[in-house]
Amino acid sequence: MLAVIAIGSAIAGNQARNAHFASMDGNGDGVISASEHAAGAAAMFTAMDSDKDGTVTAAEMDAMAAGGHVGKHAGKTPAGDAGEAGSELSSAEKIAMLDQDGDGKLSRAEHEVGARSMFAKSDTNLDGNLSASEMAAARASMMQHD
């Protein structure tokens, strides 16, 4: 029974990631360019900034995750991921990775810098685009505790 649930969760997680990838692939060519990635990151920031104050808090990230937004997970439970529950970074930990001024919030500028850095690190074949496998590998690497 547990194996069936784990497999079902992994499939659901893969479907959510595939839908997220497809939503960022604006021209449908099967890869995400730097401009498509930047546009997707900007849209994500705008959606997370529920109070429209120009910053995103851990509470806003968690609230968005609770609403079922593709690609975001509340707290430390990687809904649908094939890893162990509790292995994914919390929203506060994700913010801390990019929070240049240490205020505990993520500004639009900090998010943009982080998105550009993530794209560069994720483009392992240096072709200027992200494939689905590059994006999945980068996400798995970045979201796990060290």
77-113 residue pLDDT tens? 333 333 334 457 899 999 999 999 999 999 999 999 9
- Measured between alpha carbons, how far is residue 98 from residues 95, 104, 115, 125, 134 in Å? 5, 10, 9, 24, 21
Q: For the whole prediction, is pTM greater than 0.75?
A: no
pLDDT at 53: 97
In a domain, 40, yes or no: yes
What range does the domain containing 96 cover? Answer: 34-62+90-145
In a domain, 43, yes or no: yes
Q: Has residue 76 got a pLDDT over 90?
A: no
Residue with more model confidence, 133 or 12: 133
Give Cβ neighbours of residue 146 (< 8 Å, ≥ 6 apart).
none
In a domain, 83, yes or no: no
pLDDT at 67: 81
In a domain, 14, yes or no: no
Inter-helix orientation angle 34-48/58-66, to 10°: 90
Q: How many domains does the chain have?
A: 1
